[in-house]
Amino acid sequence: MKLKPLKENKNIFIDDKGRLYTKNLVKGQKVYTEKVFKYNNEEYREWVLKKSKLSASIKKNIGLVPINEGDRVLYLGIAAGTTASHISDIIGNDGMIFGIDIAPRILRELVPIIYKRDNIIGLLNDSDKPDSYLHIVPKVDIVYQDVAQPHQIKIFLENIDYYLKNRGYGFLAVKARSINVAKDPKEIFKDVRKSLEDHSLNILKEVRLEPYHKDHAMFLIENK
Amino acid sequence: MTYVLVRLDGLYIFDDDINNFKLKELSFDIKELIDIESRKLPDKIKELIKDDYIFIGQKFENYRYTDDVKIIRKALEKVKDRYNNELLLNLLKEKISNSVSKDELIIQAIRFLDNLNKSINLIVEMFREWYGLYFPEISQNIEDHEKFVKTILNKKREDLIKEYNIKITMGGKIFDEADYNILNNIGSHLYNLYTLRKNIEDYIEKLMKEYAPNLSEIATPNIGARLIALAGGLKDLSSLPSSTIQILGAEKALFMHLTKKAKPPKHGVIFNHPYLQKLPQKARGAMARTLASKISIAARADINKDIIYDKLKAELDRRYEQLKNRK
C-alpha cells in the first residue's frame, strides 16, 4: 500500500484503492470502527466514507477542502465526534473545534474522545440559539453543519451570521429526508441553493453523496 | 452608549463603534456559567454594569441588549481567542448530568419492558418445544405462557399426571435426573423473568402516577409512558399538537400515507386504550381524536403541576357513551 497526500488538502491522504486517511493526532486512539495502522513511522486512521459526510463529499469530488492547520471550526451537530475527529487530525493541536450538540446522550460518547484531544470542545447547547454560546465560541474559519432538523438551513445561516469570519468557509450537509420526507430531494436541494444565494453566500460546490449517504448533499460555501 | 460582551475570560467593555475595548478579567465557576446560559447574570458582572450598557447578543433579564448582527460580528472579531479546556469539559459533564430527568427513567423502563417481553416470549417458546419432549400434554393444556411456567415449576411428571388426570403421556421415557433438572432450571429462570416484568410494570405505574398524574389517569400509565418515550419527554409531549399525539407510534403508516397516498392512520399507541378497544371500528377514529386531545391537555397540566383529571375523565366518558350508543 502507498499513501499520498490529496491535491485538495495535504493533510488528507489517499491510497491506491481510493480510500481516505488522516494522520492520527492521538497515537493509538481509535474513535469509531475505523482501521488504524502504521505507515512510514506515522499512524493513520481510515476515514470511512459511509460514516462521514465530509469524506464522502471529498470522494465525490467536492474539489476543495479548505481546512488548514490551526483553523477554528464551529461544528454544529458534532454527535459522537466521528467526522470531528478527522477534522481534529487535520487542524492539529493549534486548531480548535467547537462542537455543539443538543443531545446529551450522544455527547456522553464524545467526552472520552475530548479527554485525549485537546482541540475539541464539546458544548451541550441548542444551535438554534447561537446567542447561547456567545460567551465561548470565537470568530471561526469554518462552520460545519450536520444536523437533522427541518429548519437546518435557518440554523446554518444564523450561525454563519454570528461566527463565520469574512471569506470563511461553510460546509452544509443537507439531509433531504429530515427537511421533508414527501418531497423530491432534488427540489429540496434547489430550495437550499436558493436560500444560500439569497443570503449572498458564494456556493463553491454542491455534491450529492450517493451511494455513501442516501438523499444527502454537501454544499461548500464561502462568506463574501 | 457602551456595549458589553460576557466571555469566558471576563467582561469586554466596548466603545460606541466597537473598535476599542477594555477587558475586565473575571473567571467563572460552573454554576455561574450555567447561570449565564440560562440568562441569569452572575453578581460579579452585575456590579460592573452601568445603566447605559448594552449587551451584545446576550439577553439577560432586566438588561438592555442588541441583536444587531453587524455589532455581534464586529465584537467577536476583537475578543481574545482563549479558553479553559478543563473548565469547559467539566461544564459539559455537569450539563449532561443535569439533563438526566424522570422522563429518561420512564423512557428506559418502558423500552426495557418491551424488549423484556420480546425476550421472554422467545425463550418461553423454545422452552415449550424442549419441555414437549418430557411432557407435551401439559403444554397443550395450558396456552398462557406465564401460567404454564408457574404450573410446571418444581414439579415432576408423576405429580402433574395425577394433578391433570392424564393416563398415557407421549413424553419420552429416557429422561434421567440431569435431563429433568436442566428443564426445571430454565423454568425457574423464566419464572424470575416474569416476576421481574411485574416489578417493572409496577415501577412504571408508580413513577407515572407521581410524575404525570393527569396523563396516567387519562391515557393509562402504560400508554402514557409509551407516549412520553415516543415524544422524547413529557415536555416534548406537552408541546405536540393532539393530531400528532393521536398517531404517535404509527409513523410507518403515516409515511406510507404521505409518500404513497395510503389511508392515513387513525391511531398509534393510543390504540391499546380500553376505550378504543371496546368501541366498534367505525367509532374508533372519533374516539381517538377526543382521547388525543384530552391527553394533550393532561400532559400540559402535568407540566404545570395542576390536577385536572377528574374533569377531563368526565368529558372523555361522556364522549365514549355518546359514541357507544351511536348507530
> Using one digit for the tens of pLDDT, what is the confidence trace for B7-30?
999 999 999 899 999 999 999 999
Q: Is A152 annotated as a binding residue?
A: no
Cβ of B86 under 8 Å from any chain A Cβ?
no
Q: Which domain holds residue A30?
A: 3-50
Cβ of B6 under 8 Å from any chain A Cβ?
yes
Q: Which of B76, B92, B258 sits opposite A163 (nearest CB)?
A: B76
Q: Which of B7, B58, B255 sits opposite A131 (nearest CB)?
A: B58
Residues A152 and A96 in one domain: yes
Residues A212 and A135 in one domain: yes
Locate the chain B residue with the closest alpha carbon to A106: B96
Residues A99 and A205 in one domain: yes
How far is residue B17's CA from residue B158's CA, in Å, rounded to a whole number?
96
**Residue in the block written with cell 419464572:** B191
A144 closest CA partner among A90, A99, A88: A99
How far is residue A50's CA from residue A47's CA, in Å, rounded to a whole number?
9
Residue B160 pLDDT level (bands cut at 50, 70, 90) = very high
Residues A58 and A46 in one domain: no
**Strands, DSSP E only, in chain B?**
2-7, 10-14, 21-25, 53-56, 65-66
Q: Once rounded to an integer, what is the mean pLDDT over residues A10-17? A: 95
Locate the chain A residue with the closest alpha carbon to B232: A103
Q: Once rounded to an integer, what is the mean pLDDT over residues B302-312? A: 94
Residues A138 and A210 in one domain: yes
Q: Taking 80 as the threshold, does the pLDDT of residue B327 lie above it?
A: no
Q: Do A124 and B96 touch (CB under 8 A)?
A: yes
The SS3 assignment for B31 reads helix
Cβ of B37 under 8 Å from any chain A Cβ?
yes
Contacts of residue A216, Cβ cutoff 8 Å, sequence gap at least 6 = A53, A56, A173, A174, A175, A176, A208, A209, A210
Check residue B246 and give its pLDDT.
Answer: 94
Q: Is A26 annotated as a binding residue?
A: no
B249 closest CA partner among B275, B274, B223, B217: B223
Locate the chain B residue with the closest alpha carbon to A118: B85
Residue A165 pLDDT level (bands cut at 50, 70, 90) = very high
CA distance A37 to chain B (A): 29
Q: For residue range A84-120, what is the model confidence (pLDDT) as tens digits?
A: 999 999 999 999 999 999 999 999 999 999 999 999 9
Residues A64 and A38 in one domain: no
Chain A positions touching B89 (Cβ under 8 A) are 111, 114-115, 121-122
CA distance B73 to chain A (A): 6
CA distance B197 to chain A (A): 26
How many percent of chain B have pLDDT more than 90?
85
Q: For residue range B54-82, what is the model confidence (pLDDT) as tens digits?
A: 999 999 989 999 999 999 999 999 999 88
Q: Do A135 and B89 touch (CB under 8 A)?
A: no
Q: How much is the pTM?
A: 0.87
CATH of the domain at A184: 3.40.50.150
Helix residue ranges per DSSP H, A92-179: 104-116, 152-163, 176-179
Residues A24 and A97 in one domain: no
**DSSP of B100-124:** --HHHHHHHHHHHHHHHHHHHHHHH
Residues A137 and A169 in one domain: yes
Q: What is the mean pLDDT of chain B?
A: 94
How far is residue A163's CA from residue A140's CA, in Å, rounded to a whole number?
6
Check residue A15 and give its pLDDT.
Answer: 94
Chain B positions touching A177 (Cβ under 8 A) are none
CATH of the domain at A44: 3.30.200.20
How far is residue B233's CA from residue B107's CA, in Å, rounded to a whole number?
8
How far is residue A217's CA from residue B314's CA, in Å, rounded to a whole number?
52
CA distance A41 to chain B (A): 30
Q: Which of A96, A125, A139 sits opposite B76 (nearest CB)?
A: A139
Cβ of A28 under 8 Å from any chain B Cβ?
no
As for how many domains chain A has, the answer is 2
Residue type, A223: N
Q: Which of A107, A125, A136 sits opposite B83 (nearest CB)?
A: A136
Residue A54 pLDDT level (bands cut at 50, 70, 90) = very high
Q: Taking 90 as the threshold, does the pLDDT of residue B193 lie above it?
A: yes
Instruction: Out of A135-144, B124-133, B223-232, B248-257, pick the least confident.
Output: B248-257
Q: What is the 3-state secondary structure (H, E, C) of B138-155?
A: HHHHCCCHHHHHHHHCCC
Cβ of A203 under 8 Å from any chain B Cβ?
no
CA distance B37 to chain A (A): 6
Q: Do A111 and B93 touch (CB under 8 A)?
A: yes
Q: What is the mean pLDDT of chain A?
A: 95
Check residue A161 and give its pLDDT.
Answer: 96
Residues A201 and A102 in one domain: yes
Cβ of B154 under 8 Å from any chain A Cβ?
no
Establish, for the pair of chains A and B, how many residue pairs have beta carbons separated by less than 8 Å: 76
Residues A93 and A38 in one domain: no
**Residue in the block written with cell 403515516:** B254
Residues A33 and A113 in one domain: no
∠ CA B99-B105-B108, nearest 5°, is 110
Residues A73 and A166 in one domain: yes
Chain B positions touching A118 (Cβ under 8 A) are 85
